[in-house]
């Protein structure tokens, strides 16, 4: 590995074997099945999660890993952090790796927060004296001092993530890998975490960051990897990676028109989703019509959750029918009109994602419809784009002297 290189990957692939054979629920059933067909082999399908990746990452880079669901982002992070082994290829890492990939991993649930901090440091090869030097920083960052001697199995998900991130970010590792788990924390914690990751990269450590929150990637990362269907579609500057990612939205929307290709258990699928107009002014009422056919008689009541998503894939607003007490009867068809008032969107293109849910997600229709917000602002004065482009939405505001 060349000097100044943190990660070097060559010909990296990961293939999973998916069994389609129904497994026996009891040992006796499994034994009977084996005696009947001792040489029978179950049907196995191979799935290429990642295929033939080549890239290098220099030290001190903050790298965003972006792509649609199923593109292979989390699989790549698990390979780079040695949680799972590649099927083929080579990974070279220059230094120790600290990671925070999923809520619930990395800590022993029966141990206290204090004990888990020392356990994690020891697994990274640090001495007890070194861990003690960072201990107060970790506890102060996580804000869990009162619960430090409580087993972490009693922590809320937010407390768990704060402590886990504090450990991963403050202990001495040359590479820090973070998955989408920061979404569990509150806004203040996310702000602190992003500032800490930026500081980590500024001091020569390498950060790998997987997120669907594109504004976070833009604010934090100096370069990006764009994965598409398990292949590396682009590696370079963040703006170009974002543009390549946006270009996939239209193809994805066309693929989603076929209901059987959409995620969900399929017990009930929406027939159509449409918007009342192709273009809106920023503060104008937006109306979305959702048509759903009759469902199975045993399904009972279900609800609808509709997301408005911007061009970077960021969910701007979620309209969940449970919040307004609307549940739908599966035994009759429905034409539901969602009216959104008082939402002042920035100029640009937006897509509509619709989810039908009962005990689980039945239909997840991403990019079911789309509309444009015209480049006319709801403000009396004109100004350059930097006066309004930094917020997720616009708002009605005034300044007054007192």
Position with higher pLDDT, 367 vs 254: 367
Q: Calculate mean pLDDT across residues 256-280.
A: 89
Helices (H), 214-300: 214-220, 238-256
Q: If we measure between CA atoms, which residue out of 328, 333, 373, 332 comes closest to residue 352?
A: 373
| pLDDT recorded at residue 314 | 80
What secondary structure letter does DSSP report for 151? B
Question: How distant is the alpha carbon of residue 226 from its chain centre?
Answer: 14
Instruction: Say yes or no to pLDDT of 71 above 70.
Output: yes
Contact between 350 and 371 (Cβ < 8 Å) = yes
Report the percentage of the chain scoring pLDDT > 70: 91
Q: Identify which has the larger pLDDT, 292 or 122.
A: 292
Tokens in use for 386? 């930097």
Q: pLDDT for 286-326, tens place per residue?
A: 999 999 999 998 898 999 999 999 887 788 999 999 999 99
pLDDT in the model for residue 268: 93
Segments making up each domain of the chain, as ranges: 5-234, 257-394
Q: Which of 223, 364, 389 is nearest to 311 (CA)?
A: 389
More confident residue, 280 or 120: 280
Go through 111-123 and write b for each residue having 16 or more CB atoms within 10 A of its CB, e for each that does not. ebbbbbbbbbbee
pLDDT value for 303: 95
Q: Do 5-234 and 257-394 fold alike per CATH?
A: no
Binning pLDDT at 50, 70 and 90, where does residue 184 land? low
Band of the pLDDT at 272, cuts 50, 70, 90? very high
What class has domain 257-394?
A: mainly beta
Average pLDDT over residues 43-55: 84
Which of 110-119, 203-212, 254-263 has the highest average model confidence (pLDDT)?
A: 110-119
Encoded tokens for 194: 């992003």
Q: Which CATH architecture has domain 5-234?
A: 3-Layer(aba) Sandwich (3.40)
What pLDDT, on the 0 to 100 scale, is given for residue 42? 59
Mean pLDDT, the chain, whole residue set:
84
Tell me what pLDDT residue 34 has: 64
Nearest to 117 by CA among 95, 148, 140: 148
Instruction: Map residue 172 onto helix, strand or coil.
Output: coil
Q: Which of these, 222, 241, 79, 101, lies nearest to 164 by C-alpha position?
A: 101
Supply the pLDDT for residue 187.
Answer: 65
pLDDT at 400 over 90: no
What's the angle, vertex CA 183, arms to CA 179 and CA 186, rounded to 5? 140
């Amino acid at each position: 590995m060349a000097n100044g290189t943190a990660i070097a990957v060559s010909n990296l692939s990961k293939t999973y074997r998916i069994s389609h054979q129904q497994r026996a629920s009891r040992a006796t059933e499994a034994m009977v099945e084996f005696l009947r067909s001792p040489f029978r082999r179950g049907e196995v399908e191979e799935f290429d999660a990642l295929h033939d990746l080549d890239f290098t990452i220099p030290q001190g880079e903050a790298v965003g890993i972006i792509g649609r669901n199923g593109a292979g982002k989390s699989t790549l992070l698990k390979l780079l952090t040695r949680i799972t082994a590649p099927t083929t290829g080579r990974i070279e890492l220059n230094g120790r790796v600290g990671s925070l990939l999923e809520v619930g991993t990395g800590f022993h649930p029966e141990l206290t927060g204090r004990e888990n901090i020392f356990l994690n440091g020891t697994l990274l090869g640090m001495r007890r004296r070194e861990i003690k030097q960072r201990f107060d920083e970790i506890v102060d960052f996580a804000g869990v001092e009162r619960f430090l001697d409580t087993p972490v199995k009693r922590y809320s998900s937010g407390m768990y993530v704060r402590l886990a991130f504090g450990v991963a970010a403050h202990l001495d590792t040359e590479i820090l890998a973070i998955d989408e788990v920061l979404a569990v924390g509150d806004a203040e914690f996310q702000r602190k975490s992003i500032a800490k990751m930026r500081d980590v990269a500024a001091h020569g450590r390498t950060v790998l960051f997987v997120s669907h929150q594109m504004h976070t990637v833009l604010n934090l990362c100096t370069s990006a990897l764009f994965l598409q269907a398990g292949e590396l579609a682009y590696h370079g500057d963040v703006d170009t990676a974002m543009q390549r990612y946006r270009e996939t939205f239209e193809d994805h929307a066309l693929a989603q028109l076929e209901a059987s290709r959409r995620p969900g258990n399929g017990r009930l699928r929406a027939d159509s989703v449409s918007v009342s107009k192709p273009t809106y002014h920023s503060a104008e009422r937006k109306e979305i019509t959702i048509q759903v056919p009759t469902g199975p008689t045993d399904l009972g009541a279900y609800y609808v959750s509709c997301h408005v998503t911007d061009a970077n894939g960021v969910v701007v607003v979620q309209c969940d029918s449970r919040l307004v007490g609307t549940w739908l009867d599966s035994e009759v068809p429905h034409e539901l009109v969602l009216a959104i008032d008082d939402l002042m969107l920035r100029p640009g293109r937006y897509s509509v994602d619709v989810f039908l849910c009962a005990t689980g997600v039945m239909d997840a229709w991403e990019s079911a419809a789309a509309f444009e917000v015209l480049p006319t602002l709801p403000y009396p004065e004109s100004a350059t784009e930097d006066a309004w482009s930094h917020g997720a939405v616009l708002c009605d505001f005034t300044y007054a002297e007192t």
